[in-house]
Structure 1
Amino acid sequence: MKLVDLLDRLDYELYAGELDREISTLTYDSRKVEKDSVFVCISGTVRDAHDFIPDVIEKGATAIIIEKDVEPVDGVTYIKVKNSREALAYTSAAYFGHPAEKLKTIGITGTKGKTTTTYMVKSILDSAGIKTGLIGTIESIVGEERIPAVNTTPESYRVQELFAQMVEAGLDAVVMEVSSQALMLHRVSGFIFDIGVFTNLEPDHIGDNEHKDFEDYMHCKSLLFQQCKTGIFNGDSEHIEGILKGHTCDVIKYGYGKDNDLIAENVELLNEHGALGVRYHITGKEDMTVEVNVPGTFSVYNSLTAVAICKQFNVAEDKIKAALKDVHVKGRIELVPVSKKFTVMIDYAHNAMALESLLTTLKAYEPGRLVCMFGCGGNRAKSRRYEMGEVSSKLADLTVVTSDNPRNEEPMDIINDILIGVKKADGEYVTVPDRKEAIRYCLTNAKEGDIIVLAGKGHEDYQEIKGVKHHMDERELIAEVIKEDGNDII
């Protein structure tokens, strides 16, 4: 590949050297540099890749993209840009042949709802014969291949590489979660989304290494809508005007409010034989009744989003209805069949805000008892333990405190911190440090009409202890308990 072709859509200055040269690979990882590589210098928070320039030249790099002044070396081409992360995104798109232009691209941003909505969209589109890839918090899916995720949104090079693999696999579309960090760090620069989606906005990811304040967080979310053709928005959000600021896309809104394009009416909570769900009617620009097997009114928002997206693909109403009724998302209010007398579910809620939202949602189903089993991770802020303990004790009838990922702490130390919060409210509680035994306690002591939620682990299939990740999947633990104590479970 010619260097000049790699730089085709990039604003840059030729700092030193020649543009007319062949290049082999593109990388921002100095360990992956080889002969004739292009190396992109990322100025990180911990390390500045400009410091590695002598090393990568020694390894064979012949072109280097910089954002700072450096001392040129003869025989090496230096390309200067304003932002090397943005440059990585544009050059990655070129390196992989602009694969986003060969797919229908859907990007979903928001504080909550991204993961569930991506799976809903993929389920509907796949059922309609539109072969769809996925990039998100849990995994990336390329055809039959499932790749565990490291970040909600990967680095731009990896995004483009996944797009290219999807094109190669014959996929038609991709739906992906787009975090505020990804927008801030240009991980999804270098192409235009066909559809951008805003779910909701709450204070989150604000701190020294994330967003300086809520306004910055909201601004970064809004950037998606300066980079998409059609924007689909939760019109009920109090922050909708801030998200729309500077938008360049067509606008479609959904929600309960009468000024939305898709309006949810006549919402019914469904609780049948241990399965929870929701049914509602859509009016406005559509006229259809949908049923979702995921509980809670927030499922109305998630499914409305999915409907709005899939209508852009002209998916038939019956396909949408069937797919929504059968959608499953690992670790996101995931119902696990155990008994028709009570409900068991697994959810990723691992902070107070998420746990409060989850438990409030489940209380609306008026269970006989609401039982919440959870622990907290070690080597993390103690405040989270107090807050989660208090929330569970306030909202759940019974809190079962157990171990999560203790990391380098003693499990009982973490549990004792949680109990400080638990004791601030008046809910009943027990402590069962071993997570499998805690699940056994929940199942063997279940009463008719109970809703039991196992919170905190969600899609994770490991428990981290003293730096080692041990395999542990709550679905497997439930199956083991049923096999061992089935006669004691109604």
Structure 2
Amino acid sequence: MALTLASAAALLREHHLLREIIQNDVWTDDAARIDAADDPFAAITYDTRKVTTGTLLCCKGRFKAEYLEGIDDKGLQAYMAETDYSSVTDAPGLIVTDSRKAMSLLSAAFYGRPQDELTVIGITGTKGKTTTTYFTQALLNAVSGGKAALFSSVDNCLDGHTYVESDLTTPESMDAFLMMREAADNGMKYLVMEVSSQAYKVDRVYGLTFDVAAFLNISPDHISPIEHPTFEDYLYCKRQIVANAKALVLGADSMRADLIRQDAALAGIPVTTFALHDADDKGTDANVTARPMDVTHSTFRITADGADLGDFHLSIDGDFNYLNAAAAIAIAHAAGVSLEDAEPLHAIEPVRIAGRMEQFRDPQSNTLAIVDYAHNFASVTALLDFVYERWGAENPHITLVTGSAGNKAYDRRKEIVEAAQDRIANFIFTAEDTDTEPFIDICMEMQGYITNKDVASTVISDRPTAIMNAVYDARAHADRFNILLIIGKGDERWIKEHNKHVPFEGDDRVVERMFGL
């Protein structure tokens, strides 16, 4: 059914968001008093530059009245806002209590509730979201003939096979429902999407119910004045996915797992758990478990409800990725995929994700470079655990090339240093994404957190130069085994500076160029 002013008002009233409708001197609760209230909207947008005839404009955030100057000449049909703008437009306004919640509901309605045509899977957690999302999509593609879409912090895929770089972990609500509409029109049966804490903090997924929600893990992160003021707030936002789902997949060893189980019980939804066991198959009881079999070859065994599903070999290294694989299998099963035939499950094996645990060998020296997106205490710790498990016996000289984001997640700066300083030989602090903070200030702050007098450190704010310096140093000491860990950016081709994406070669490409690969 097409969205009209009347149906939009009814929807907003149903969710207790509508205050009144205003058009010039008419203030009313009754849409019938507004001319053309039953005319369908031709378009919906939150960008005044995209307004055309028949558009519903959603005014969100720091919207200003001057943005609407001349808007009637463009054919604005109506607007939704928390503020009355009748002084600058003759179009009727849906005045609401919360514009972000309203925008999500209106967007879903305008695009015909595409989520109802898809099995929608939402994956949240402090680490592992992206890898688990790709594993899950690969598995669902295998059982559906390539009909699984994906929204991730790396790429969006709306047809099961074409990947386009994304801007946000979880898209703005209007963009998300537009992409869902395209995915449904492309014949997709599934949508697997990462769900960030900010998605609930700023209502990007308001009104969306997930067929399956996955809560992988939680640890302190994203704590800052512009993200989450406390860990409690971060966790609370993450937990909202449980109350907005029909089934939950939970990391059995997650911090606060008992609280999340209580959330599921209150929501009346079933819980499927997953866990990583050790080589002797000891670990937390769970429905789906992964157990390392041959670390050198990234081989592990999956068990589901006591049944052995066989051995799997990943193209991505690390025990934490065995855990992500177990999560993906548990998610697919919760979404209705039978585990009786284990063959389709092996679709996770060839999955590689650019910028995640990518390894490069230097033909000119005994040097291994690993490019990864690790960017907080938990992920840096997991990365170093992997390095020591695999190569610790070779006594490698480890250099960590790292930075941290500007104007947010301030705790990361100290925590990255604390996670690494007793396990590496050298830090090189360099540029990462920032808002208004100078790169050099962030690097100098991180350097100041070093307390281990035996670890060396250098500040090189230009990121390609920092990586090149690490390679040159390794080649100057070819008699030792060098491991370069280059973290934080993955394969991103930009660095965010003053809210703009500045083109950047990419960590992986700098390494490939230096190694002549």
Q: Which residues in structure 2 correspond to 1:21-100 (within 5 Å)?
A: 21-42=39-60, 44=61, 47-48=62-63, 52=67, 56-57=71-72, 59-68=74-83, 76-100=91-115
Give the deviation of 1:391 after TM superposition: 4.0
Q: Aligned partners of 2:473 and 2:293: how far apart in 1?
A: 28
Summarize the Cα distance change of 1:217–1:49 in structure 2 as closer, same or farther, 3 Å threshold: farther
Q: Cα RMSD over matched residues? A: 3.5
Q: Aligned partners of 2:193 and 2:331: how far apart in 1?
A: 13
Residue 395, structure 1, aligned to residue 442, structure 2: no
Residue 455, structure 1, aligned to residue 478, structure 2: no
Q: Aligned partners of 1:190 and 1:113: how far apart in 2?
A: 25
Q: Which residues in structure 2 correspond to 1:23-422 (within 5 Å)?
A: 23-42=41-60, 44=61, 47-48=62-63, 52=67, 56-57=71-72, 59-68=74-83, 76-128=91-143, 129-143=145-159, 144-244=161-261, 245=263, 246-256=266-276, 258-265=284-291, 267-268=292-293, 270-272=295-297, 277-284=298-305, 286-288=307-309, 289-311=311-333, 312-314=336-338, 316-321=341-346, 323-336=347-360, 343-367=368-392, 368=394, 369=396, 371-376=398-403, 388-389=416-417, 391-396=419-424, 398-401=425-428, 403-405=430-432, 418-422=446-450
Q: Is residue 137–residue 150 contact of structure 2 (8 Å, CA) maintained in 1?
A: yes
2:135 maps to a residue whose letter is M
Q: Is residue 373–residue 487 contact of structure 2 (8 Å, CA) maintained in 1?
A: yes
Q: Aligned partners of 1:67 and 1:410: how far apart in 2?
A: 35
Summarize the Cα distance change of 1:195–1:210 in structure 2 as closer, same or farther, 3 Å threshold: same
Q: Aligned partners of 1:182 and 1:239: how far apart in 2?
A: 20
Give the deviation of 1:377 after TM superposition: 5.3
Summarize the Cα distance change of 1:285–1:271 in structure 2 as closer, same or farther, 3 Å threshold: closer
Deviates further, 76-85 or 91-100: 76-85
Q: Aligned partners of 2:99 and 2:176: how far apart in 1?
A: 16
2:225 maps to a residue whose letter is D
Deviates further, 81-90 or 281-290: 281-290
Give the deviation of 1:5 after TM superposition: 4.7
Summarize the Cα distance change of 1:118–1:49 in structure 2 as closer, same or farther, 3 Å threshold: farther
Q: Which runs of 5+ in 1 are unaligned?
A: none
Provide, for residues 79-123 of structure 1, a one-character-per-residue CA deviation record: whole Å limited to 9, x for no partner.
344422122112111211221122221110111111111111122
Identity of paired residues, percent? 25
TM-score by length of 2: 0.80
Summarize the Cα distance change of 1:171–1:404 in structure 2 as closer, same or farther, 3 Å threshold: same
Q: Aligned partners of 1:74 and 1:159: how far apart in 2?
A: 28
Q: Is residue 392–residue 422 contact of structure 1 (8 Å, CA) maintained in 2?
A: no
1:282 maps to a residue whose letter is T
The 3-state SS of whatever aligns with 1:395 is coil
Summarize the Cα distance change of 1:338–1:40 in structure 2 as closer, same or farther, 3 Å threshold: same
Q: Is residue 213–residue 247 contact of structure 2 (8 Å, CA) maintained in 1?
A: yes
Alignment length, in residue pairs? 474
Q: 2:515 aligns with which of 478, 482, 485?
A: 482
Summarize the Cα distance change of 1:308–1:424 in structure 2 as closer, same or farther, 3 Å threshold: same
The 3-state SS of whatever aligns with 1:271 is helix
Q: Is residue 474–residue 482 contact of structure 2 (8 Å, CA) maintained in 1?
A: no
Q: Aligned partners of 1:93 and 1:409: how far apart in 2?
A: 37
Provide, for residues 50-104 of structure 1, a one-character-per-residue CA deviation record: whole Å limited to 9, x for no partner.
7756664464323222345665899633334442212211211121122112222
Give the deviation of 1:443 after TM superposition: 5.6
Give the deviation of 1:452 after TM superposition: 3.4
1:226 maps to a residue whose letter is A
Give the deviation of 1:258 after TM superposition: 4.7
The 3-state SS of whatever aligns with 2:400 is strand
Q: Aligned partners of 1:470 and 1:53: how far apart in 2?
A: 33
TM-score by length of 1: 0.84
Summarize the Cα distance change of 1:378–1:195 in structure 2 as closer, same or farther, 3 Å threshold: closer
Q: 2:468 aligns with which of 427, 437, 441?
A: 437
Q: Which runs of 5+ in 2 are unaligned?
A: 22-27, 277-282
Q: Is residue 62–residue 75 contact of structure 1 (8 Å, CA) maintained in 2?
A: no
